[in-house]
A = this chain, B = another copy of it.
């Protein structure tokens, strides 16, 4: 018997999050990437799931979180954050401060969009080069039948 609804179900179910986690890591293995850490945040910006592969270095969870958290906080994918970090470094520095340091403005923070383009959550991946981290996140989101938004 499932628990009654609490109101704390923001956009993504745990089932969907687990598909994204698993398929993001599977794509990393297919592409031969370095060991990855993947984070899934829900629509409220809260952690829904995280997995760190064996060998993934110590601060990868923090970096992957910062990619996803920075993206969903503004409502843009990581590539848009990277552009703003180039064009408005003062803004992105203060944005990172506002988020307690957890806003990493590089590719690999990817919004999860559902029906009608609604933002359902965000995925952050860290471990290899940012572009490759992003490929893994995109594959994971697509495997769950949802639309990745990289900010491109």
Size range of the interface on A? Answer: 35 or more
In the bound complex, CA of A3 to CA of B88 (Å): 26
Known pairs A6-B56, A59-B73, A98-B102; list 19 more (Cβ under 8 Å): A1-B32, A4-B55, A4-B117, A5-B55, A6-B75, A7-B114, A8-B35, A8-B56, A8-B58, A10-B43, A48-B52, A58-B72, A59-B95, A59-B99, A66-B94, A85-B89, A85-B90, A89-B90, A93-B96
Write the nearest CB–CB distance from A151 to chain B, whole angstroms.
Answer: 13
Cβ of A143 within 8 Å of any chain B Cβ, yes or no, is no
In the bound complex, CA of A33 to CA of B130 (Å): 32
- Interfacial chain B residues near A52, Cβ < 8 Å: 14, 42, 46-49
Q: Is the CB of A91 within 8 A of B104?
A: yes
